[in-house]
């Protein structure tokens, strides 16, 4: 799709591969079609071209894949889609700014490179002055203030294992918050053990490197026996593998299957060397208004306590 094309046309592709205009599979097809359909057409105005550039950039950001953009446009229509988009992004203002002539604000730029590995962002934040800027590191500053002895508060924070990766270390975030006074961390609901296993392993490694004791990590589990409850968990950001979802919904007793899966996940998480050094806890919650799923949270609590007792008794 050309930068200057109409991004509200569902028949156009966002993919930049193909021909120069974006309408054909390749350049040869483009030239063949052009030769067959030579005709004079009025060109777009410059304002319209600027408008398409801005709208195209916004649509590419919101819908990186064609299928999502096309479904959105076909369900609402181009005019309604444009109006909806304008509600949260000032297309007109952005177009005026983009089209406005002017000189470059800063001609000489210094470019540096800091490898984002492990705790590098935390290490570099202070010498770069981020902690001194009022708008920077607000969560860290809030933790620091609340953790002062005079406050009388015990401060905790949320940990999301699924966002832990080589490019964005959740373990480094835990380390930084712990250094500022965060006493514990609580996870979102665990229905997939590997991300939590990787996070706890790397968190212990980072704590050893920094010479500090790991803070307690409380793992959250919740029973689920309905498709709607699973959908709600996914909406909350919980990663539920397709195989796990099928196993729960396909079971004769979905809630019992859900409890079994939670037991297995906790057992897997505890079967690693980090479990002997990182203080771990368990939180059981109910995310449903259905009585059977609420009652199942009590059964889940008893089931997970058995796993913890077995682990402590080793």
Those residues of the chain that have pLDDT short of 70 are 1-47, 50, 63-64, 72, 75-76, 84-91, 93-144, 146-147, 313-314
pLDDT for the residue numbered 260: 96
The whole-number pLDDT of residue 307 equals: 92
Question: How far is it, in rounded angstroms, from Cα 22 to Cα 59?
Answer: 16
Which domains are present in the chain? 27-99 (no CATH), 120-312 (3.20.20.220)
How many other C-beta atoms are found inside a 10 Å radius of the C-beta of residue 94? Answer: 17
Q: What is the DSSP letter of 303?
A: H
Span 244-270, pLDDT tens digits? 999 999 999 999 999 999 999 999 999
- Give the per-residue pLDDT at 236: 85
pLDDT for the residue numbered 213: 92
DSSP 206-246: HHHHHT-PPPEEEEEE----SHHHHHHHHHTT----HHHHH
Beta bridge partners of 219: 282
**Cβ-based neighbours of 78, under 8 Å, separated by 6 or more:** 6, 8, 9, 10
Q: What integer pLDDT is reported at residue 163 of this predicted model? A: 87
Q: Distance between CA atoms of 302 and 243, rounded to whole angstroms? A: 25
């Amino acid at each position: 799709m050309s930068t200057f094309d109409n991004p509200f046309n569902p028949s156009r592709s966002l993919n930049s591969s193909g021909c120069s205009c974006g309408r054909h599979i390749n350049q040869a097809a483009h030239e063949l079609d052009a030769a067959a359909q030579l005709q004079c057409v009025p060109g777009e105005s410059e304002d319209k071209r600027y408008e398409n550039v801005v709208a195209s950039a916004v649509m590419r950001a919101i819908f990186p894949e064609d299928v999502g953009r096309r479904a959105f446009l076909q369900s609402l229509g181009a005019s309604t889609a444009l109006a909806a988009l304008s509600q949260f992004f000032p297309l007109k203002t952005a177009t005026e700014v983009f089209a406005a002539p002017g000189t470059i604000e800063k001609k000489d730029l210094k470019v540096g490179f800091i490898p984002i590995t492990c705790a590098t962002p935390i290490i570099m934040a202070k010498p770069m002055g981020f902690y001194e800027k009022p708008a920077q590191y607000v969560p860290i500053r809030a933790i620091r203030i609340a953790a002062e002895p005079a406050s009388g508060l015990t401060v905790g924070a949320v940990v999301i294992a699924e966002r832990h990766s080589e490019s964005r270390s959740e373990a480094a975030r835990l380390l930084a918050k712990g250094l500022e006074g965060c006493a514990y961390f609580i996870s979102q609901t665990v229905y997939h053990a590997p991300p939590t296993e990787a996070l706890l392993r790397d968190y212990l490694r980072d704590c050893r490197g920094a010479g500090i004791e790991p803070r307690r990590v409380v793992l959250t589990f919740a029973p689920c026996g309905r498709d709607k409850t699973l959908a709600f968990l996914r909406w909350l950001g919980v990663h539920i593998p397709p195989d796990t979802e099928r196993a729960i919904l396909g079971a004769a007793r979905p809630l019992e299957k859900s409890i079994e899966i939670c037991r297995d996940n906790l057992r897997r998480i505890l079967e690693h060397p980090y479990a002997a050094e990182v203080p771990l806890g368990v939180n059981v919650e109910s995310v449903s208004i259905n009585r059977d799923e609420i009652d199942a949270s009590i059964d889940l609590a008893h089931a997970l306590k058995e796993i913890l007792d077995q682990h402590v008794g080793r």
